[in-house]
């Protein structure tokens, strides 16, 4: 079976990547091949055409004309212009046209192709790989009509078999190269997933240890709810990486939106109080950076529920993200509750405040912490960082 994702035309132009032959070598081989063919069959033109990737046209990989002794290539025949001829290629073992201008299979070629080149007769052999037509080998007589006899037909068919075998070998090499590349990418992806999982567990264990040393809550349900939110921020990273194409980077806008959506799901009673203004920015985070950002945002959310919500009948939690003119990214998260002195809170052995500060410093973010007059965190990420 032919791998439809492999474009033989492109492969012939990129031989040097997996084979010692350069495209110039291929052209020289084609030229030598063509000169011998025209001499053997006493014709003026021979050419090889291959289907493009979507099979809407034939593109020449070589057209030799003895009158100019030059090899032309990259001409195009559109299927939409020659539907009968293209159908004939699919249904015939060989196309013989003693008079190209009135033969049913070839008369579409008369005015746009044959007359400018003075072609009167042709013998076309569809090239097949695994039973599927992938192109055509053309033998053309110029200036006079020609009936190709059975020996000439057998010779032409033999030449087409050799050419088909050569192209099939090239196709197999390309398929193997593609398979080897896919296996390597799969191996790297598995290693990346293992690395991610290990990091997630390592962070979780660290959080549990910190919580044991600093946490003061005596309510197991509150502790479990907080860890559920932290774990969900990690799970979102894995979910988004699995859905992405590169498997290694997270779009910041999408990730922050998913965190807000998850927080709303976990706290439906305050869903309408969460005000989200997240601009779409082409900024990507590594898995480590995403883990840090996710935990920072989660801790701010949890602290807001714990301290900003009680007694606040008009509770609002604001989440904003935008990109500045210098391409730096700005995140602001906070609520309309009573402000507090962040540095004073650091003196108290609570997990959330210390975790926010440690993670922000680990990412070397420019940070503005809450004050007694404004309960708002502001983080600045450096200039735009796109996906690898």
pLDDT in tens, 111-167: 999 999 999 999 999 988 878 898 999 999 999 999 999 988 988 888 888 777 777
**6: pLDDT confidence band, cut at 50, 70 and 90?**
very low
Q: Which carries the bigger pLDDT value, residue 29 or residue 192?
A: 29
Return the pLDDT at 19. 39
Q: Average the pLDDT over 64-79 and give the result.
A: 92
Q: Average the pLDDT over 178-202 and give the result.
A: 65
Q: Average the pLDDT over 51-79 and give the result.
A: 91
Tokens of 343: 């540095």
Q: Which carries the bigger pLDDT value, residue 190 or residue 72?
A: 72
**277: pLDDT confidence band, cut at 50, 70 and 90?**
very high
Q: Are 233 and 259 within 8 A, CB to CB?
A: yes
**227: pLDDT confidence band, cut at 50, 70 and 90?**
low
**364: pLDDT confidence band, cut at 50, 70 and 90?**
confident
Best CA proximity match to 124, nearest among 171, 180, 68, 82: 82
Lowest mean pLDDT among 81-95, 341-355, 365-379: 341-355
Return the pLDDT at 388. 43
CA–CA gap between residue 66 and residue 45 (Å, rounded): 6
- Mean pLDDT of all residues belonging to the chain: 79
CA angle 27, 167, 20 (to 5 degrees): 55
Q: Where are the alpha helices (DSSP H) in 244-273?
A: 252-266
Please report the domains of the chain, with CATH numbers, ordered by start residue. Answer: 8-178 (3.30.450.40), 215-381 (3.30.565.10)
Q: Average the pLDDT over 252-263 and give the result.
A: 88
* Residue 363, Cβ density class (10 Å: 0-12 exposed, 13-18 middle, ≥19 buried): middle
**292: pLDDT confidence band, cut at 50, 70 and 90?**
confident
Angle between helices 287-303 and 220-243 (to 10 degrees): 150
Q: Are 76 and 59 within 8 A, CB to CB?
A: yes
pLDDT at residue 93 greater than cutoff 70: yes
CA–CA gap between residue 123 and residue 156 (Å, rounded): 8
Find all residues with CB under 8 Å of 314, minimum gap 6, and list them.
336
- DSSP class of residue 121 equals E
């Amino acid at each position: 079976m032919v791998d439809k994702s492999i474009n033989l035309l492109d492969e012939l132009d990129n031989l040097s990547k997996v084979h010692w032959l350069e495209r110039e070598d291929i052209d020289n081989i084609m030229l030598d091949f063509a000169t011998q063919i025209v001499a053997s069959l006493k014709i003026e033109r021979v050419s090889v055409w291959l289907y493009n990737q979507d099979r809407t046209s034939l593109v020449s990989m070589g057209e030799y004309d003895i009158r100019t002794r030059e090899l032309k290539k990259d001409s195009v025949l559109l299927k939409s212009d020659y539907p009968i001829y293209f159908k004939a290629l699919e249904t015939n073992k060989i196309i013989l046209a003693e008079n190209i201008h009135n033969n049913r299979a070839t008369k579409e070629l008369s005015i746009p192709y044959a007359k400018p080149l003075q072609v009167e007769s042709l013998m076309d052999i569809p090239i097949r790989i695994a039973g599927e037509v992938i192109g055509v080998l053309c033998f053309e007589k110029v200036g006079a009509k020609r009936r190709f006899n059975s020996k000439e037909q057998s010779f032409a068919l033999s030449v087409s078999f050799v050419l088909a075998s050569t192209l099939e070998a090239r196709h197999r090499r390309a398929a193997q190269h593609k398979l080897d590349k896919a296996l390597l990418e799969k191996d790297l992806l598995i290693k990346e997933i293992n690395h991610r999982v290990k990091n997630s567990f390592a962070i979780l264990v660290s959080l549990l240890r910190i919580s044991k040393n600093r946490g003061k809550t005596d309510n197991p349900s509150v502790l479990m709810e907080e860890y559920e939110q932290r774990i969900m921020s990690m799970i979102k990273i894995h979910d988004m990486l699995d859905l992405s194409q590169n498997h290694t980077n997270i779009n910041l806008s999408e990730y922050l939106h998913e965190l807000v959506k998850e927080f709303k799901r976990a706290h439906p009673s305050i869903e309408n109080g969460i005000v989200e203004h997240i601009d779409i920015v082409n900024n990507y985070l590594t898995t480590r950076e995403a883990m840090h950002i996710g935990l920072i945002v989660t801790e701010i959310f949890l602290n807001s529920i714990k301290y900003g919500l009680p007694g606040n009948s008009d509770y609002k939690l604001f989440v904003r993200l935008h990109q500045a003119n210098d391409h730096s990214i700005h995140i602001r998260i906070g609520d309309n509750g009573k402000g507090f002195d962040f540095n004073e809170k650091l003196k108290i052995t609570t997990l959330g405040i210390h975790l926010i500060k440690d993670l922000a410093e680990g990412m070397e973010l420019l940070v503005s912490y809450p004050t007694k007059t404004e309960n708002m965190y502001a983080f600045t990420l450096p200039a735009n960082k796109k996906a690898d």
